[in-house]
Structure 1
Amino acid sequence: MPSPRELSSLSLAQHAVRLQTLLERVIVDVLKKHGLSRGELDVLGALAANGDARPQELSSQLLLTTGGLSNILRRLQADGHITRETNATDARSSIVRLTEQGTAIARETGTAVSEAIAHALGTVDESVLDTAAQHLHRVLVDLDEDAPVHRDLPW
């Protein structure tokens, strides 16, 4: 027989996964219209929020493998959204920068995603959203996993 804590943990996990699945559908629809993947938007958003970065920093911040990030950076560079330059202080690494086009697409797509999420959650009372966000934030802080998901929106 599961303990009350196990049941609460399972319920939280099931609700979080269900909400994530519902919102992911909305987000993917917006990203398709803007020609980006989720990983590409995450990288553009991180660069827009924090400025130039080394790939290792992006990989760590976004919880992406170095191989996965390399593919994302290659696509973003080919599309003209970023530049990659040799790091002047360490020639073994590079610095990733947004281009003007990259800044514009990050802002445009980020705004569209934020609006789509707000619309999808439009029937939920704002106080419920605030309380749920605070509780989930606390869970992530307790798990020492808050940094990758809690950042100011650069758009």
Structure 2
Amino acid sequence: MSSLSLAQHAVRLQTLLERHIAEVLKNHGLSRSELDVLGALACGDARPQELSSQLLLTTGGISNILRRLEADGHITREANTKDARSNIVRITPRGEAIARETGDAVTEVINRVLGPVDDSLIERAAEQLHEVLLALDEDAPVHRGATN
């Protein structure tokens, strides 16, 4: 029963936060997946397949996201000199700026929503969820150099 309770609490918290985050993303002209891709690319260039795997997105989904980000000038795609069948995706300065600005706004809204919660409780909960994700070997997508 505790695993069901964990899942229910995690989903409820995510839903609560998403209500507020969605508005921030809309105001910055990005989807959640687009911001995730820009965040991943801020850590370094990647192949679309790597982004798909890291961010748990389908290859078709990542292709659509990359097309939109490229059209908006947030990324570039170049031929992979080591593998002619793939591209290397790189974030542009414009993409870095919008990712930073949007990421800061998302952090601000999360802090506002969680404001009534004691910082030590948030820290303990984050550490425990981190341990759960590590045990599932699923922790990588949530840590892309962001600060807590």
Normalising by the smaller structure, the TM-score range is: over 0.9
Which residue among 13, 18, 21 is the counterpart of 1:24?
Answer: 18
Counterpart residue number, 1:150: 143
Is the Cα–Cα contact under 8 Å of residues 74 and 95 in structure 2 kept in the other structure? Answer: yes
Report the secondary structure of 1:103's partner residue: helix
Amino acid at match of 1:84: R
Size of the aligned set, in residue pairs, is 147
| Partner deviation per Cα, 1:8-43 (whole Å, 9 max, x = no partner) | 111111111100000111111100000000000000
Q: Structure 1 length as normaliser, TM-score? A: 0.92
Is the Cα–Cα contact under 8 Å of residues 39 and 144 in structure 2 kept in the other structure? Answer: no
Where in structure 2 are the equivalents of 1:2-151 lying within 5 Å? Answer: 7-48=1-42, 50-151=43-144
Structure 1 outlier segments of 4+, above 6 Å: none
Alignment RMSD (CA, Å): 1.0
Answer with 1 or 2: which has the greater Rg: 1
Please give the alpha-carbon distance, in whole angstroms, between the structure 2 residues aligned to 1:116 and 1:59. Answer: 27
Question: 1:91: Cα distance to partner?
Answer: 1.3
Structure 2: tracts of 5 or more residues without a match: none
| Partner deviation per Cα, 1:55-86 (whole Å, 9 max, x = no partner) | 11111110110000000000000111001010
Please give the alpha-carbon distance, in whole angstroms, between the structure 1 residues aligned to 2:111 and 2:145. Answer: 16
Structure 1: tracts of 5 or more residues without a match: 1-6
| Partner deviation per Cα, 1:119-150 (whole Å, 9 max, x = no partner) | 11000000000000011111111111111113
Please give the alpha-carbon distance, in whole angstroms, between the structure 2 residues aligned to 1:59 and 1:11. Answer: 29
Question: 1:101: Cα distance to partner?
Answer: 0.7
Please give the alpha-carbon distance, in whole angstroms, between the structure 2 residues aligned to 1:81 and 1:151. Answer: 18
| Partner deviation per Cα, 1:88-135 (whole Å, 9 max, x = no partner) | 111111010111111110110011111111111000000000000011
Q: Structure 2 length as normaliser, TM-score? A: 0.96
